[in-house]
Amino acid sequence: MKTYDQYQKEIIEMKARHATELAEITKAAEAAHAAALNTAREQVAVMAANLGMSTADLLGASGGKKNKGVKAPSVVPVKYKDPETGSTWTGRGRQPKWLEGKNREDFAV
């Protein structure tokens, strides 16, 4: 029967083997993906040439969709302020406890 240390050694060896195999498979998958992309690019170029166009004409000058970017969050002005603590509320979201059961107009900024 094997000892605990022998099993631990086997586990470490297996992990090393699997890490090497995973790296090889990942590298092969990336190479296959790159080859598929190149084939697709060549096919698009041939189709564009058959139509008498360039790939830039076919896809537009930018080469595809334009990135609209990220919209900056809008700043909402404060509508209500607690005179005792200075806490503010924009009127959005859950109503604060200091305003519950009271007239909002009394706290309007």
Q: What is the pLDDT of residue 97?
A: 92
Residue 42 and residue 85 in one domain: no
Same domain, 11 and 38: yes
Does residue 63 have a pLDDT over 60? no
Question: Does 58 share its domain with 36?
Answer: yes
**Residue 77's pLDDT band (boundaries 50, 70, 90)?**
very high
Please tell me whether residues 25 and 52 are part of one structural domain: yes
Whether 6 and 54 map to the same domain: the answer is yes
Q: What mean pLDDT is reported for the chain?
A: 87
Residue 109: closest CA among 67, 86, 52: 86
Whether residues 56 and 101 fall in one domain? no
Containing structural domain, residue 103 = 70-109
Give me the pLDDT at residue 65, please. 67
- As for how many domains the chain has, the answer is 2
- Whether 14 and 39 share a structural domain: yes
pTM of the model: 0.44
Q: How many other CB atoms sit within 10 Å of the CB of residue 33?
A: 10
